[in-house]
Amino acid sequence: MEQPKLPDLETICPHCGGSGYVTNPVWIEWLKKRKQNPDLPMPDEDEEVKCGECDGIGMVPTEAGKALLDFLYMYFIPAVERKNEGKARFYENQR
């Protein structure tokens, strides 16, 4: 039997274009200020920083992806917690 097809769950992050990194705002500011002051020393920070929108993944969930995350949050996480509680009880009984 053929599996039902899921819609696209993620898409390229529009903030970083999929690289997962963006230009450090400190550098953007430095580039602006350098126009007036060409002797301004370079920032002592990395030129690229992890994208805050996708946390460096380069992809973000679509609306369908967000719905799946909500579904997992509702059913999967409680199931894992129940399973882990069962394990915790198992180990306590071993003592």
Contact residues toward Zn ion (CB under 5 A) are 13, 15-16, 51, 53-54
Q: Give the nearest distance from C-beta 55 to Zn ion in angstroms.
A: 8
Tokens of 21: 């990194």
85/71 Cα distance (integer angstroms): 21
Residue 11 or residue 84: which is nearer to Zn ion going by CB? 11
Residue 49 or residue 68: which is nearer to Zn ion going by CB? 49
CB 56 within 8 A of CB 19: no
Q: Give the nearest distance from C-beta 13 to Zn ion in angstroms.
A: 3
Residue 12 or residue 79: which is nearer to Zn ion going by CB? 12
Q: Give the nearest distance from C-beta 58 to Zn ion in angstroms.
A: 6
Instruction: Name the DSSP class of 95.
Output: -
Rg over alpha carbons for the chain, rounded to the nearest Å, is: 23
